[in-house]
Chain A
Amino acid sequence: MPDVQSMVNEFVIKLKKRKVEGSKSTAKLTAELLRSFISQQRLPHRNQAGALIDAVKAVGEKLIAANPVELAVGNVVRRVLHIIREEDLSLTTAAVGGLSLAAESDDENDMEQDDHPVLSATAVAAAARNALRPPSLQTLLEDIPHSAVAPPTSSSGGDSEGKSKSADKNSMTRKLKHNVIEAVNELIQEISTCHEQIAEQAVEHIHHNEVILTLGSSRTVMEFLCAAKEKKRSFRVFVAEGAPRYQGHAFAKELAGRGLQTTVITDSAVFAMISRVNMVIVGAHAVMANGGVIAPVGLNMVALAAQRHAVPFVVLAGVHKLCPLYPHNPEVLLNELKSPSELLDFGEFSDCLDVGSGTGSPLLHVVNPAFDYVPPNLVNLFITDTGGHNPSYIYRLIADYYSADDLVVRRKSAS
């Protein structure tokens, strides 16, 4: 236990100091950390899923608070929580299904004990399945409180099993953890291979003699373009340099090294060149639930230019970048201000940056935001590991990968 705690604290410090760069590596590290955490957890016999969920929520809360702008951390935490709920549900339905034969013989006993009418196993499973889906009109009328469904079913499963076979109890305990860890391994695998999955679709989108525009540097875009090159498509790439870090320069160099015809332009030249471009392909930092994109600074301008000239704006994003939250003030809340020294050297401009005589604050302010928010109506296509999607379809992906209960990751003090 103390070992895991120290690992968690180490990771929290790394996040706070922004030592981890890139959503893919952050997501992978978070998933691995949670995997070790879960494997070292000792679970009670009853209501294991609930206990595990609480424990993961407690850790998740800490991790998210360390770097709220890095949404991949929260995404992975929520994915793991969803995995736990799903595995618990499938175990319960298997257990209940197997027990329905035993239950029929015990009918008279149950009738006396329970106040509620006897519900068939299918009804219980259906109710539990409802609890897993986001609240719908059915669950509204059924009014089955979500948290109440899981404990009764798992404890009733535990009870009746205890009556019939006590040896099975231990196997149930181990099974949930085992299944969850297996699923988390799959998640880590998925995160590691997201670039390859996305790059596989390159050939469908890039055709001969096309001109592609991109901004800055993104590993996903690199793999994407190279995959198309491998399949013998010939096309040209315009790379906007991506001030103030100018990562576009290195990106263009690498592209040229792989044999692609590349042109470097300044960010301000994007609008002038966009009419000669066939498609804009960019990466993203995060994708929000409404289909909006948190992207490196400058991409909102590119998206607006692309819309103005009817150029398709394609965003490449691995599924771990999908965030179930709605952005209500993304320019401020989901943004980071980086060091002004990237724009102006401290030495040259230190006299302006000093405290002004009258006002008590510097006369020259330098603002260096890291991210831009691109609204969903400017994005034409999302290419994820699962395929190409419309921005208005993002809610479906979110419903598949996340549970509604996990939107706010907070440890419940009294469940």
Chain B
Amino acid sequence: MWYRSASFILDRQHQQQNDTVTNPDSRPLSPSSSAMATENPNPSISMYYQTRAAHHGVVTSDWLAQAQAAVGGNSDDAVSDNCVSGGDEECKGFSVVDEFNNWRKQPDLAEAVAAIRALASVIRSSQATTMMELEIELKKASDSLKSWDTTSISLTAGCDLFMRYVTRTSALEYEDFNSAKSRLLERAEKFGEISYKARRIIAMLSQDFIFDGCTILVHGFSRVVLEVLRTAAQNKKLFRVFCTEGRPDRTGLRLSNELAKLDVPVKLLIDSAVAYSMDEVDMVFVGADGVVESGGIINMMGTYQIALVAKSMNKPVYVAAESYKFARLYPLDQKDMVPALRPIDFGVPIPSKVEVETSARDYTPPQYLTLLFTDLGVLTPSVVSDELIQLYL
């Protein structure tokens, strides 16, 4: 609640203190690791958004296919190099985050899945002989992943989910440590498939809700929503899409590129034109960075605004999110989350006395959402907390 202080002076002082804090224990960088891997120069700026922009830029799907093929060859080399150059202990600490980044370079892979794959590699390279030891190592690795980017919700949720699963598996009375370990490994490595399957399931579930002649408003670049629209286009449904620009990421431009390739009629709107065009819209479709306990969602900045407009004009707001994005958070208002800041480039220099709101995401309360499409089925926002209880009990 610090960030809600009405006293701007206190805020400014706090900001200055943050800047002067030295970087956390700097380790010697091995020559082959990329600069962004280990150190997070300013903890409050979201690594997620920085690296995401670097990873994806304005990409086309052909480029994606090529990149995927290229990455498949490189990732193993990079990891082994890392391990060889550094010492054993340092290597482990390095390789989780590096491994994670390597996995994330695959553009189709979700964050939580990359995290779980990285944790799987920790298991693989671990020399523990008991479940307890293995769990402790995993906990350390999961903590380091989480601290690398404190703002990403799906990363945290993915790590928590996997840790929870590990502790439950050990409770399943596997007589043999090695068989338990191999089962963990097998499950973790199959998790990537689950992610892809999840998107297919969500796309299938939402098909009925897209009818011929409808107009869909989309905000932000969500791979799940893209899958939904792609499936609808493949099923020869006739619909058109309004795409918000998504300043300052310009994710809307990417999305409109992809949709144009699918021969779906697309119209780009600037973010301020949403209310103006809401009349012609039949439904709003968004993805989610995280789904919180109240049934609300945390998503790219602008989602709350669109949901408010849609609600006042009686348009349904549908959210497409995989189940591993369910997080144990309960924000009470917009500032009640770990802030994820993202520097905005206005194109002209801003005088230093002018403050800029750089938060990258907002919270949409559940009363503005109509339905959530997840791989667990179609849910109303009130079901989310039930599902979370089932998992975390």
Contacts and interface: CB of A to CB of B under 8 A. Distances in A.
A123 B391 contact: no
A96 B163 CA distance: 30
| Chain B contact surface mostly | helix
A291 B323 CA distance: 22
Nearest to B209: A328
A134 B376 contact: yes
Interface in B193-207: 194, 198
B165 A141 contact: yes
A81 B176 CA distance: 39
A289 interface: yes
Interface stretch (A153-161, A218-226, A388-396): A388-396
Contacts of B211: 328-329
Contact of B380 (A134, A136, A137, A291): A291
A136 B376 contact: yes
Interface stretch (B18-26, B41-49, B167-175, B234-242): B167-175
A337 to B, nearest CB: 19
Interface string A359-395: 0000000000000000010000000000000001101
A117 B176 contact: yes
A326 interface: yes
B186 to A, nearest CB: 10
Contacts of B324: 137, 140
B161 A117 contact: no
A140 B196 CA distance: 12
B390 interface: yes
Contacts of A133: 390
A289 B191 CA distance: 30
Nearest to B389: A136
Contacts of B391: 136-138
Contacts of B168: 138
Interface string A273-315: 0000000000000000111000000000000000000000000
A117 B179 contact: yes
Nearest to B207: A328
A135 B378 contact: no
A142 B169 CA distance: 9
Contact of A135 (B183, B190, B377): B377
Interface in A116-134: 117-120, 123, 133-134
Interface in B274-314: none
Contact of B383 (A117, A120, A141, A395): A395
Nearest to B183: A117
Contacts of A326: 208, 371, 378
Contacts of A29: none
Given A137-B323, A143-B190, A328 B377 contact: no
A326 to B, nearest CB: 5
B390 A138 contact: yes
Interface string A186-203: 000000000000000000
A390 to B, nearest CB: 8
Contacts of A120: 172-173
Contacts of A140: 194, 198, 323-324, 375-376
Contact of B175 (A117, A291, A329): A117
B147 interface: no
Interface string B382-393: 110011001100
Quick one: which of A118, A135, A137, A142 has the most chain B CB within 10 A? A137
A287 B227 CA distance: 31
B103 interface: no
A396 B176 CA distance: 39
A142 B164 CA distance: 12
A341 B143 CA distance: 72
B187 interface: yes
B379 interface: yes
Contacts of B378: 289, 326
Given A141-B161, A393-B382, A395-B382, A135 B376 contact: yes
B363 interface: no
Nearest to B295: A392
A118 B376 contact: no
A135 B194 CA distance: 13
B172 A137 contact: no
A120 B379 CA distance: 33
A395 B380 contact: yes
B326 interface: yes
Given A290-B380, A291-B380, A395-B380, A141 B187 contact: yes
A395 B187 contact: no
Contact of B377 (A117, A134, A138, A143): A134
List 7 tightest A-B contacts by C-beta distance, closest first. Answer: A392-B382, A137-B391, A328-B208, A328-B209, A141-B165, A136-B390, A395-B383
Interface of A: 117-120, 123, 133-138, 140-143, 289-291, 326, 328-329, 376, 392-393, 395-396, 404
19 contacts: A117-B174, A117-B175, A117-B176, A117-B183, A120-B173, A134-B377, A135-B375, A136-B376, A137-B323, A137-B376, A138-B390, A140-B198, A140-B323, A289-B380, A291-B380, A326-B378, A328-B209, A329-B211, A393-B382
Given A140-B324, A396-B386, 7 more contacts: A123-B172, A137-B323, A137-B390, A143-B190, A328-B208, A328-B209, A395-B379
